[in-house]
Amino acid sequence: MKLILRPFNKSDYSIVSKIYAEGIATNVATFETEIPNWIDWNKKYISQPRIVAVFEQTVVGFAVLSKISNRDVYKGVAEVSLYVAKHMRGYGIGKQLLLQLITESEANGFWTLQAGIFSANKVSIHLHESCGFRIVGTREKIGQLNNTWFDNILLERRSKLIGNTMKNILVLCTGNSCRSQMAHGYLNQFTKGKATIYSAGIETHGINPGAAAIMKEDGIDISNHTSNHVDEYADVDFDFIITVCDHANENCPYIPSKNAVRLHHNFFDPSKVLGSDDEKHQAFLKARSEIKDYFEDFVKTHLPSSKL
């Protein structure tokens, strides 16, 4: 198939809008139910890059980006929208469009792309994963379509070309529930956006409510974090891998980051403490204090450009 990928022109919108309508009709592509007029569509999407796929002189697909925020700190983060004409699906057009969009987004200074995809849209999820996106969580019942609530799978892709001095840090424990989540929260705060923080477990136990509560007392909200398995990050090249419990350190699976600095500290485990509410609170306070001090020192020692 001889496919041409070129920049979108205003004159393409009549066909693009029809392709978008076909996406709406699937009921798994978007929460939108109406086709926007040109003015509204043009306002919604970033001017560059906008790409169309052309086959036999006819537009058969398009890929565009939209802002996730007007804040300057997020100027390099955008959300992907990609649609292929119904009669041309299954020919690999979507992957060509997405790969080209990634290339052009990096040329335009975007360092992170994200996508929110209906959980039932397995084809689109697989497509994004095949182009370097990773699943970072599920937004449960994030929106309604035709009076039915739907989940969205949130995926993201971090550029390896832009800001490649940014460090990737993995914090690992048994269940990615308590100590690693608190460490994740403090590292996000202490590195001030100068590192990408991941936390994971060799199992997944969900977020410990006590950990979320004690971190909130210190002004850090980890309640929206997800509990992730370390295998989910097999494609990430880590600069630091930090285990925060002996069990994870002793049973850690192979992580293919040859140049990673590997550190270990067995932090006090507050989840094991039984007793009164006050005794449990004091246990989480003790663990939080240990973790905060350790990772504040870690940032000062290993990431001097991120000093507080």
Confidence of residue 95 (pLDDT cuts 50, 70, 90): very high
* pLDDT tier for residue 305 given thresholds of 50, 70 and 90: low
Does pLDDT of 307 surpass 50? no
Which tokens belong to 111? Answer: 């360092």
In this prediction, residue 236 carries a pLDDT of 86
Asked if residues 240 and 167 have their Cβ atoms less than 8 Å apart, the reply is: yes
Q: Are 230 and 202 in contact (CB under 8 A)?
A: yes
Q: Could you report the per-residue pLDDT of 110-153, keeping only the tens digit for each?
A: 999 999 999 999 999 999 999 999 999 999 999 999 999 999 99
Q: What is the end-to-end Cα distance of the chain in Å, rounded? A: 55
CA pair distance 28, 285, nearest whole angstrom: 44
Catalytic residues: 173, 245, 252
**Among 18-27, 39-48, 171-180, 233-242, whose mean pLDDT is lowest?**
233-242
Q: What is the mean pLDDT of residues 288-302?
A: 94
User: Could you confirm whether domain 3-158 is CATH 3.40.50.720?
Assistant: no
- Per-domain boundaries in the chain: 3-158, 167-306
The arithmetic mean of pLDDT across residues 147-170, rounded, is: 86
Average pLDDT over residues 153-158: 94
Q: How do residues 229-243 score in pLDDT, each as one tens digit?
A: 998 888 888 999 999
- Residue 304: the pLDDT is 66
Residue 248 is predicted with a pLDDT of 80
pLDDT band (50, 70, 90) for residue 164:
low
pLDDT (0 to 100) of residue 109 = 85
The predicted structure's pLDDT at residue 308: 40
pTM score of the predicted model: 0.55
pLDDT in tens, 181-207: 999 999 999 988 778 899 999 999 999
Query: Residue 72: which pLDDT band, with cuts at 50, 70 and 90?
Result: confident
CATH number of this structure's domain 167-306, picked from the four choices 3.40.50.2300, 3.40.190.10, 3.40.50.170, 3.40.50.720 = 3.40.50.2300
pLDDT given for residue 77 in this prediction:
94
Q: What is the mean pLDDT of the chain?
A: 91
